[in-house]
């Protein structure tokens, strides 16, 4: 009898240990999300400089931030390569939809992803490049970018953005309770040479996509922008370059580059700098450079439109 009790206790102990090990292994296993990529025309997909396939593409991928590059297939017209950073979250979908043009300025790209919120409400954040674009939801005006709508109705909707000098974009999305859908939209400049197809529709899977309804409050309202007059360091031959490393502002579709309070397109705009100007780099973070734009105040500029000189 005593042996049976000891055997039973030992068996229970082994089962408990096995369950504990199983839970530890499952908890420690890296989370995966889904990356979906569409493009027009078809393109090869690189992640961190490693080719993974061609568009259309949809596969599970480990959670984290990746550098995604799209190289268009050979056509009669030479098209530009696009690359950008994409965030993958566990058990969620990140969707990239690109209309590749002859230049970066004529290329339009939509990146959509979900972020878990602490509430049961559904939210929508719309970011555009350039920002200040007018946003409408189901043909109703909702504000200008960067824009956040909170407590919006769950369901299918259409989000449209429009900005003078750029081709309009229209996305079909779907809101999900307890999540914030972030739609980051790079708009293509409007010109006779632009080749991207106008207003493509992006529609990630129903489980993780949000579609806004203007029932929430508009949290963001861009403040007046300070335009920096002159260049802290003149760029003529007689002028000395600033201390290295410094950022040389490149040409932009708008003719200026926005200086932001934080290294994010959702952050408040502080000022504007012009192509050809040079600013000493004070700090770097995730493809952004911190500069002193007027000799006193600091802000961040996107490395997409700045060349680092060392």
Q: Taking 50 as the threshold, does the pLDDT of residue 124 lie above it?
A: yes
Task: Write down the pLDDT at residue 14.
Answer: 60
Q: Taking 70 as the threshold, does the pLDDT of residue 48 lie above it?
A: yes
Q: What confidence category does residue 131 fall into, taking pLDDT thresholds of 50, 70 and 90?
A: confident
C-alpha closest to that of 169 among 132, 203, 200: 200
Task: Write down the pLDDT at residue 76.
Answer: 56
Q: Peptide bond before 70: cis, by omega within 30 degrees of 0? A: no
C-alpha closest to that of 258 among 310, 307, 306: 306
Torsion of CA 168, 169, 172, 178, to 10 degrees: -110
Q: Where are the alpha helices (DSSP H) in the chain?
A: 2-28
Task: Write down the pLDDT at residue 70.
Answer: 94
Mean pLDDT, residues 288-306: 88
Mean pLDDT, residues 123-134: 90
Task: Write down the pLDDT at residue 8.
Answer: 59
Q: What is the CATH number of domain 246-309?
A: 2.30.30.40
Mean pLDDT, residues 33-56: 93
Task: Write down the pLDDT at residue 264.
Answer: 78
Between 194 and 86, the higher pLDDT residue? 86
Instruction: Name the least confident of 57-71, 84-98, 109-123, 224-238.
Output: 224-238
Mean pLDDT, residues 97-111: 92
CA distance 226 to 215: 32
Using the 8-state DSSP alphabet, how is residue 208 labeled?
T
Q: Taking 80 as the threshold, does the pLDDT of residue 201 lie above it?
A: no
Mean pLDDT, residues 194-202: 39
User: What mean pLDDT is reported for the chain?
Assistant: 78
Between 193 and 128, the higher pLDDT residue? 128
Give the domain ranges of the chain: 32-186, 246-309
Instruction: Name the least confident of 97-111, 226-240, 287-301.
Output: 226-240
HSE (side-chain half, CA atoms, 13 Å) at 220 = 23
Structure tokens at 59: 């596969």
Q: What confidence category does residue 279 fall into, taking pLDDT thresholds of 50, 70 and 90?
A: very high
**Residue 16, SS3 per DSSP:** helix
**Residue 191: alpha-carbon gap to chain centroid:** 24
User: Which of 23-37, 67-81, 197-211 has maximum average pLDDT?
Assistant: 67-81
């Amino acid at each position: 009898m005593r042996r049976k009790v000891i055997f039973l206790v030992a068996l229970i102990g082994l089962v408990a240990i096995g369950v504990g090990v199983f839970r530890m292994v499952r908890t420690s296993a890296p989370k995966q999300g889904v990356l979906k990529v569409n493009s027009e025309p078809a393109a090869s997909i690189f992640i961190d400089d490693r080719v993974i396939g061609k568009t259309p593409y949809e596969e599970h991928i480990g959670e984290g931030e990746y550098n995604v590059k799209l190289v268009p297939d050979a056509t009669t017209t030479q098209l530009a390569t696009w690359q950008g950073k994409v965030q993958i979250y566990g058990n969620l979908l990140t969707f990239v939809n690109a209309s590749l043009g002859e230049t970066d300025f004529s290329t339009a790209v939509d990146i959509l992803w979900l972020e878990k919120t602490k509430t049961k409400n559904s939210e929508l954040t719309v970011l555009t490049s350039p920002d200040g674009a007018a946003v409408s939801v189901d043909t109703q005006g909702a504000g200008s970018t960067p824009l956040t709508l909170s407590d919006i109705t769950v369901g299918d909707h259409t989000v449209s953005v429009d900005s003078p000098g750029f081709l309009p974009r229209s996305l079909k999305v779907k809101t999900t309770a307890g999540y914030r859908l972030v739609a980051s939209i790079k708009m293509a400049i409007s010109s006779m040479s632009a080749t991207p197809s106008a207003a493509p529709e992006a529609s990630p899977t129903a489980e993780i996509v949000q579609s806004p309804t203007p029932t929430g409050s508009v949290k963001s309202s861009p403040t007046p922008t300070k335009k920096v007059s002159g260049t802290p360091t003149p760029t003529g031959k007689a002028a000395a370059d600033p201390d290295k490393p410094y950022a040389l502002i490149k040409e932009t579709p708008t003719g200026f580059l926005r200086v932001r309070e934080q290294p994010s397109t959702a952050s408040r705009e502080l000022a504007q700098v012009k192509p050809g100007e040079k600013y000493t780099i004070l700090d770097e973070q995730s493809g952004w450079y911190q500069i002193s734009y007027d000799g006193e105040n600091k802000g961040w500029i996107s490395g997409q439109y700045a060349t680092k000189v060392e």
